[in-house]
Each structure stands twice: as C-alpha cells, then as structure tokens.
Amino acid sequence: MIESIYTGIRNLLKEDNEIQTLLGGQYVYISYIMQAKQYPSITILENTERSKKRTSYNHFKVRQNKSIIQIDCWSKKSRLETVKLANRIDELLVSDGVALTWGWEKISDGDLFEFDINVYHKPLRYSFSYSVTDR
C-alpha cells in the first residue's frame, strides 16, 4: 500500500475527537506486529493487497489495487471499550473513507481476550480500492 494512504488512515483515526477521548490520547499506530504497547490503543496492519492492470495499461500505466487492512482495538479495561472504538472506526472508514480511496467495506471483526497478556482485542478487517500509476 502506498505510504500516503497508510498515513491518511492513521491520521483520520488519530485526529478524530471521539477516538482521542476513548483512547485518552493519540494512540494510533502503524504496526508490523500484532500486539499493542499502550492500552487502550489502535494498531493498523496491512493484511493483503491485489493489483490488476486497468484497460489501456500499456498506454497510461494505471493499476487498480484492492487492499485489506486489519485495524486492531486494544484495551486492558473492558470489551465494551474495544466495541466503542470499533463502532467509531466503522463510521469513519465506511462512511467517509480516506482521500484517494473508494469502496470501503468491513469484511470481518472479532472479539478476543488475549489471556497471555490479559488484554481485550478486537480485530477489524476492511477492504478498499485505490489506483496506482506506474512510471
């Protein structure tokens, strides 16, 4: 995924007043590991990406990418705290989306308790599309 989209997702969540209030700060991280370091917090992880050359690719060099990201909500306090975060993330991404992207949809979520670290964990997966122009 291109960096500006990753940054756009993080900034959308990080700058939202409701999420800041629920987290007690701007604890939204792009992560390459699954586990959070701060609680409550949100981590963003790219899950998969597919790319398809668009019609006239040989001339315009445009590909359409379809990405799946995982956004994890973490809390030591309660499951309800992760549910509130997840509901707000749904509102932001599915309704508004992120600049230069389209077709946001939630494809899965879960409710977990990580016994080894004593933390509530709510993984959310979303798919969306964006275009890339090759040089």
Domain ranges of the chain: 3-133
Answer whether residue 15 shows pLDDT above 60.
yes
pLDDT on residue 21: 97
Mean pLDDT, rounded, for 4-24:
94
Alpha-carbon distance values, 90 to 39, 107, 117, 126 (Å): 20, 11, 26, 9
Beta carbons within 8 Å of 10's beta carbon, 6+ residues apart? 28, 29, 30, 44
Q: Where are the alpha helices (DSSP H) in 57-111?
A: 57-60, 79-90
Answer whether residue 95 shows pLDDT above 80.
yes
pLDDT on residue 33: 65
Backbone angles phi, psi at 25, to 5 degrees: 160, -170
CB distance 64 to 131 below 8 Å? yes
Answer whether residue 39 shows pLDDT above 90.
yes
Mean pLDDT, rounded, for 78-97:
94
Q: Domain 3-133's class?
A: alpha beta
Answer whether residue 54 shows pLDDT above 70.
no
